[in-house]
Structure formats: structure tokens, C-alpha cells
Amino acid sequence: MGAIWFWIVAVMLAAYVVLDGFDIGIGILYPLLARDEQDRRIMMRSIGPVWDGNEVWLLAGGGTLYFAFPLLYASAFSGFYLPLMIVLWLLIMRGASIELRAHVDSAVWRSFFDGLFFVSSALLAIFFGAALANVIRGVPLGEDNYFFLPLWTNWRVGPEPGILDWYTVIGGVVALVALATHGALYLALKATNELEMRAVKFAKAGWVVLCIVTLVSLPATIWVRPSSLTNYSEHPLLFIVPLAVLLTLGGMRIYAQKGKTLAAFLSSCGYLIFMLVGAAAGLYPVLLPSSSDPARDITIAKALSGLHALHVGLAWWTFGMALALTYFVVTYRMFRGKVSIHEEGDYGH
């Protein structure tokens, strides 16, 4: 049951990154690709019907983490209290900017919320990438399984690190570039004419940067946490995962060059998924490593809930996921295709 719930949480977080990732990517690209109000309305409408549903995966993932691994939830949410509060406010500001920008017909009003949309989206990408890097690097867990992290210390990786150091900054940059490229490919699916061409052009340029930061992040991860290779050496079949990362990276470029935007976007989805799967495979069965003493690692066995609760929860989780997947299939089918700007407001399609 521990392995099942470990991968359930991993899948739900991967679903959030893939789905809300292109929402965040659109926000990052908002001031870069939009030339006028029509472009901005198209970009907003491309995510308008789905962005709030996509964020459900983050809430569901957090709830599942609380249910299946309560010790991890208690330790991580207390230790990461400061960045979690920052992320919460960024999510609030991003949601407010999407919902409120069209409520008043004023250039100043729209410009304020447009800027808020960009800043909150970019910072969310950076913080999410840095958060994953913090988990991979490890945190200074005490004997009581709790820890405290300042926002930064000396920017070095060590037994008493800060939230931000050179490695977590790399993680933030990877997330920023990956989600911006992901958003550009999604926008290419939804936009037309010049905006579509600009999105494809940005995706091609972003792909080059993404390759560089990905190739930098992999040896950096091995240097920071050599034990991440243990599972790969014991189970060589896992090397399919980094190979899949390279193949999906290549697919993004090849399909974008051929004008097969949907295939390029799906390749980007695959890249994000396999990067996360690779990180999870390197950590398993550790949920939160200790940066000072491996004996204090929070593992699946240490953090797992009672077996009876997990068996009952699995039945209810299956039912809930069936409902959620039905909702997502219906919603994405209803709003498939290119965006139209003939309707009033920002949410027409």
C-alpha cells in the first residue's frame, strides 16, 4: 500500500504540473508575446475555461498527501511554512488577475492585473521548481522530524541549507523555462495567425534553453544527492526514464519544426512527466531526505497511515478520480479547438 500511495501522490502532482503548467506558462509569456489587447484576450481565453479546474489537482494532491502520509504532511508544511505562504498568495493573486481584469473597462485596471498575472505566474514556476529541488537535496530534519529553513543562508548546499541555494535556483530556472515552453506550445494550439507564429517561434527558442538547463540539472542532482542513482543501479530498467526525457525533448523540437503542434505539446507533457518520474524514482522509498543524517530520512514506512484507512481510502479515491477525469474529459472536449474573440469578456471560446 505504501508504494501504491507513493505513486498515486506522484501521479497527481504530475497531473498538476502538466495541466496547470501551461496555464502558468501562458502567464509567463503574457507580456512577451501579446502585442495588443486582442492578443491578450486570446491568451486569457485560451486558459479561461480550464485554469481553475487544473488547480484542483494541487489541492487533491495535498489532500492525498495528508491522508496517506500524515507525518510528511506535518513536517513539510511546518518546515516550508514561509514558501508555502508565498505560494498561497501567488495563487490568490494569479486567480484574482484572471477573474478581475475584464470587470472594469479601464486601461489602467487591465494593465495592473496583466502585470500581476505575469509576476505571480513567473514566481510560481520558480518556487515550484525550487520546492522540488529542496526535496531532492534534503532538509535539516531534527530528531522530532521537524525542521526550519530560512529563505537563504550562504547559497551553498550543506547540512544547514536555506530554501534558496545554487542548486534550488537551478531547479527554479528549469521550471521557469520548461513551463514557459510548455505554455508556448499550448498557445500555438489555441491561437491563430501572428500570435500562433510567435508562440511557435518562442517554443523553438525556449527548447534550446530548456536543453541546456536540463543537461545542467542532471549532473547537479547527482552531485548534490549521489544516492539518487541507487535505485537506477539496482533496477537498470529505470534508465528508460532519462532516455524518455531525451526522446520527449527531441520530439518537442522535431514536431515543432514540422508544424505538428499537438504532437509537440504532447511531447512537452511527456518531458514534464518523465522529469518528475525520474526524481520520484531516485528518491523512492524516501519521501523527504535529511541533509544532515540519512537515518532521519522520512520514508514511506515511517510516514504511512494505517492500512485499514489506506484500503478504504483507495476505494473512495478511485471513485473520486473517475468523477474528476469525467469532468476534465467533458470540459476539454467542450473547449477544444482555436480560440474565438467574438464573445464578450475573457472566457469566450
Is 347 a residue whose pLDDT tops 80?
no
What pLDDT, on the 0 to 100 scale, is given for residue 175?
Answer: 96
Average pLDDT in the 222-234 region?
90
Question: Residue 206: pLDDT above 80?
Answer: yes
| Amino acid 346: pLDDT | 53
**Which whole number is the average pLDDT over 172-198?**
95
pLDDT tens string 34-61: 999 999 999 999 998 899 889 889 988 9
d(CA 168, CA 289): 15
Residue count (the chain): 349
Contacts (Cβ under 8 Å, ≥6 apart) of 229: 222, 282
CA distance 255 to 296: 46
E-assigned strands of 260-325?
A: 286-288, 298-299
- Give the pLDDT score at 148: 86
Q: What is the pTM of this model?
A: 0.92
Mean per-residue pLDDT for 183-196? 93
Three-state secondary structure call for residue 209: helix
Q: pLDDT tens across 252-280, in order?
A: 999 999 999 999 999 999 999 999 999 99
pLDDT interval class at 348 (50, 70, 90): very low
pLDDT at residue 338, rounded to an integer: 87
Q: Give the position of cell 542513482.
A: 229
Q: How far apart are CA 97 and CA 66, in angstroms?
A: 29
Given a cut of 90, whether residue 341 has pLDDT beyond it is: no
| Residues contacting residue 163 through CB under 8 Å, at least 6 positions apart | 80, 82, 83, 130, 134, 149, 150, 151, 152
- The yes-or-no verdict on residue 219 having pLDDT over 50 is yes
Whole-number Å distance between alpha carbons of 109 and 12: 36
- Return the half-sphere exposure (C-beta side, CA atoms, 13 A cut-off) of residue 81: 8
What are the CA-CA distances from residue 310 to residues 6, 60, 64, 145, 287 (Å)? 12, 16, 10, 22, 17
Reported as a pLDDT band with limits 50, 70 and 90, residue 349 is very low
Task: Give residue 342's pLDDT.
Answer: 61
- Arithmetic mean of pLDDT over the chain: 91
Cell of 235: 533496477
Domain boundaries, the chain: 2-334
The whole-number pLDDT of residue 196 equals 93
The pLDDT assigned to 168 comes to: 94
C-beta separation of 6 from 309 below 8 A: no
**Residue 262 CB partners (closer than 8 Å, separation 6+):** 189
Residue with cell 549532473: 219
CA dist 156 and 161 (Å) reads 7
Average pLDDT of span 168-192:
95
| Nearby residues of 314 by Cβ (< 8 Å), 6 or more positions away | 1, 4, 5
Summarize pLDDT for 80-136 with one digit per residue, the tens: 888 889 999 999 999 999 999 988 888 899 999 999 999 999 999 999 999 999 999
H/E stretch holding 208: helix 193-224
Mean pLDDT of 300-308: 92
> pLDDT at position 201, please?
95
